[in-house]
Amino acid sequence: MHLSTNISMASTPERRGGRVSSPKLRKSLEQAEDFLGLEEQTNRYDLLILVKRAGKAAGFTPRMTELLDYYMSFTREIDWEEGHSPIVYQSISRTALDLGITERQIQRLEQALFEVGAVTWHDSGNHRRYGQRCPETGEILYAYGVDLTPLAYLKEELEQKLARKKAHDRMWMETKRQISWYRRQILSTLAELDGEGGIHIEKVSRLEEAYEEMARPIRTHIGIESLQAMLAAHKELHERVLAVIEDEEKTAISCGKSIKMSFIDATDVVHYNYTNQIQSNELDTGKASPVCFQGRRNSGQGGKSQPEEKREAPPSQSEEKPQQGKFSIADTGLQHITISQALNATSDRFKEHLPLTFDTMSWREFVDAAGRLRPALGISQQSWGNACVALGRTGAAICVLLTDQAALRENDPVTKPAGYFNALVKRAGMGELHLHKSIFGILRREEEASFG
């Protein structure tokens, strides 16, 4: 029995206490011994800011960052200079009381900080933490506790991880922005289809159901891969919606119907009651735009115009302007406004409804953006339709732009945008609307503001 006891005691390794040695621990202790101080123009809180901004991308949880921030407050600038060490010698119990957690949690957080290479330990023989500073200089005379020296060696690595995190975040935000843009496009187009009715009601219903399935809130916990897959789904649905729009327009044309206006309102047709033909320009949006606001002559048969052969021939350039009461879109100066000028005159609120890039912007996309902004200004669908009949879709969109700017101006802002919009259309009918002068005025004011 005595022999077996001796054998048992001899086979059991003696537990001396202390930390288990490892290559990582030895490397951290070597870093503490070889520390030459922080680089110039760098202080200890620069390191802490890097940790906070890199966050989980660098392996730091909020709890780890909180403890590191707490320990950093116990160090001084002199501790981070050559020949010194930033050692925190406050007891674990006091730290646990201050942070409202247990001693065991403090130990686990310190171990986690050690694993990411942010701290090491300068232990006493019995692992008790204590130290003393010089009252005159503030330098540490002796200390045993948590050593923050390894954090200084993480600076370059943290900067690289932060750069990658920023690139990831920019991609995430850009993907989210694109999804939001496609959602606005899809919703506005579906609303337009619902308002027009047509033979594609079942298709529209299926598209609405498909949108509802993917229209879940975008939260930061969604990974970039999932977000990109969501973007691809929105792009595909957007193409399907546009295909239905094209089918609707083709069906209307084949059936001899017009889209929210009669054929006599087309810009390339000479109206029988006004002989000045409007020349085609870059303002054409692909849909019919009216050339006449007042003075239509009905034949008495359902409002139809007289036969085309009774229309007057186009006049020569020397012919006088039409009589008072006759109106042409050209009178508003719309043909003098370029797409670039219109874009530069838009507000930030208007730009939110525009496509992602302006390089290949078309007037049709500009008009679509104005149509999406319209509800925010309180402009009704009927008012928008009246403006399209009076000024064409492009002219109506420019009026939305002017109304938006009037509502946002600092001095005497418009309080009733819908009334202002209707007033613009009414002025057009009286020949008193000059859209190009208004746009040029906005551009001139913005240029003066940028230089002064």
pLDDT for position 249:
63
Structure tokens at 450: 């940028």
Helix (H, G, I), strand (E, B) or coil at 132: strand
Q: How crowded is residue 17: how many other Cβ atoms within 10 Å of its Cβ?
A: 8
Helix (H, G, I), strand (E, B) or coil at 130: strand
Structure tokens at 230: 């969501």
- Contact (CB, 8 A) for 393 and 366: no
Q: Confidence band (pLDDT; 50, 70, 90) for 189? A: confident
List, for residues 208-218, the tens digit of each pLDDT value: 888 888 888 99
CA 286/CA 364 separation, integer angstroms: 7
Q: Which residue has the higher pLDDT, 249 or 369?
A: 369
Helix (H, G, I), strand (E, B) or coil at 71: helix
CA 427/CA 431 separation, integer angstroms: 6
User: Mean pLDDT over residues 279-283, rounded?
Assistant: 41
List, for residues 124-179, the tens digit of each pLDDT value: 888 899 999 999 999 999 999 999 999 999 999 999 999 999 999 999 999 998 99
Q: Which residue has the higher pLDDT, 300 or 368?
A: 368
CA 294/CA 326 separation, integer angstroms: 6
Q: Cα 52–163–69 angle (5° rounding)? A: 15
- Contact (CB, 8 A) for 434 and 332: yes
Q: Cα 293–298–303 angle (5° rounding)? A: 90
